[in-house]
Chains A and B, each alone.
Chain A
Amino acid sequence: QKEVEQDPGPLSVPEGAIVSLNCTYSNSAFQYFMWYRQYSRKGPELLMYTYSSGNKEDGRFTAQVDKSSKYISLFIRDSQPSDSATYLCAMRRMDSNYQLIWGAGTKLIIKP
């Protein structure tokens, strides 16, 4: 079983919809949670990061962490065609210098 599970999609939604992207994990030692966005033929870029449980909002994006359920989510409000990309979750233990564990990524398609 993988440490981090992420549905690969593709997830196709109409423009303007609210999008929910999710990852589950098995290691309760994970403390830092990140979402990266990867456009086609590009490297991933950091979108948001959160520490421990709770919500963090940045414009149209909200990252949510539920440590009791070992579940993280990324919500995108008022989705735009430019949001079409692959979204990767990543997480790190508190005691780990740089060991990031990655989800496989969810491909998101926003239809105009």
Chain B
Amino acid sequence: EAQVTQNPRYLITVTGKKLTVTCSQNMNHEYMSWYRQDPGLGLRQIYYSMNVEVTDKGDVPEGYKVSRKEKRNFPLILESPSPNQTSLYFCASSPRTGLNSPLHFGNGTRLTVT
């Protein structure tokens, strides 16, 4: 089944403890992206990647890191999480960079930082 898989689905951690949220897609998509979703603010892009070893900042990159060493994987790293990073995170992928290419989303990771 074609899908974007994120892990874990739920994560509770403490301030400053490094964590990684994994994202993997099995559709051979070139484009991958991370979003956070907060009530009243909608989806905001954190980082995106046009292809292997090519990453760029989105609208809210502060406090996050990403890497794209393989086409299928795009992990999101929080080196020193803070409570304002408590949010619902989504990974998404798309087959090409055409303007009407649909984004395929994972089912989200709910992160709580205390």
Contact = CB atoms under 8 A, between A and B. Distances in A.
Main secondary structure of the interface of B (DSSP, over half): strand
Interface of B: 4, 31, 33, 39-45, 48, 50, 90, 92, 94, 97, 99-100, 102-108
Contact of B48 (A51, A88, A98, A105): A98
A43 B107 contact: yes
A100 B108 contact: no
Interface of A: 4, 6, 8, 31-32, 36, 41-46, 49, 51, 88, 90, 92, 94, 97-100, 102-105
Contacts of B103: 36, 44, 46, 100
Give the most central of A4, A88, A98: most B CB within 10 Å. Answer: A98
A38 B107 CA distance: 10
Contacts of B41: 104
B108 A43 contact: yes
A90 to B, nearest CB: 8
Contacts of B92: 43
Given A32-B99, A92-B99, 7 more contacts: A45-B105, A49-B100, A88-B43, A90-B43, A98-B48, A102-B44, A104-B39
